[in-house]
Amino acid sequence: MTYSPADTAILLVDPYNDFISENGKAWPMVKDVAEKNDLLAHLSEIVAAARAKGFKIFFVPHHRHEASDYDTWAHPTPYQKLALSLMIFAKDTWGGTFHDDFKPQKGDIVANEHWAASGFANTDLDMKLHQHGISKIILIGLAANTCVEGTGRFGQELGYHVTLVKDATAAFSHEAMHAAHEINGPTFAHEILTTDELIARLST
């Protein structure tokens, strides 16, 4: 199978400094897996190849935290409470800013921020994809077993063809990566590829 810019987009999930920069608050949590996967190089290769071949890049950003975010919530999740306690992706901070290598460029589309694991839930991502004729989504970014998986699962439910790229993501543990691509991924994703395999299939 090949991919065409006419109906396929790259979804770049949560490329914040806190996740993928050396001094980011969450970097120590993903560093081992990210470095084993050569994450930053693979993200850069995919984004560069996609832009060169005319594919749209959709940014799928997580909510940027403020101290009072969950004061009135009945059921914030453990991950939401952890992120808030560490102020990961804090609003108006360096950590809550996109990494210098992955800032939106002209023609890129930035969706509304998601609060939990799915980039589709309570955002405008689905509408923006439809407005650009997209029916196939390729997910890269972080984290493999949370926001990438959550967005992919929701996308499949909405009728999208879903592709995961197993060396263009990371997670807090190797066990989580295994679950994301060997156990959970095959239950919803139509393709699970490497960066090299994906780039070879991007049509000219």
pLDDT in tens, 137-167: 999 999 999 999 999 999 999 999 999 999 9
Average pLDDT over residues 74-91: 95
Range of the domain at 29: 8-201
In a domain, 1, yes or no: no
We report the CATH number of the domain holding residue 102 as: 3.40.50.850
Number of compact structural domains in the chain: 1
SS (H, E, C) 24-92: CCCHHHHHHHHHHHCHHHHHHHHHHHHHHCCCEEEEECECCECCCCCCCCCCCCHHHHHHHHHCCCECC
The answer on pLDDT for 176 being more than 90 is yes
Domain presence at residue 25: yes
86 domain residue, yes or no: yes
- Is there a domain that residue 2 lies in? no
**Residue 203 pLDDT > 80, yes or no?**
no
DSSP symbol at 142: E
Q: Report pLDDT for 86.
A: 94
pLDDT at 123 over 70: yes
The confidence band for 1, taking pLDDT boundaries of 50, 70 and 90, is confident
pLDDT at 2: 87
Q: Is residue 3 part of a domain?
A: no
Q: Are 164 and 192 in contact (CB under 8 A)?
A: yes
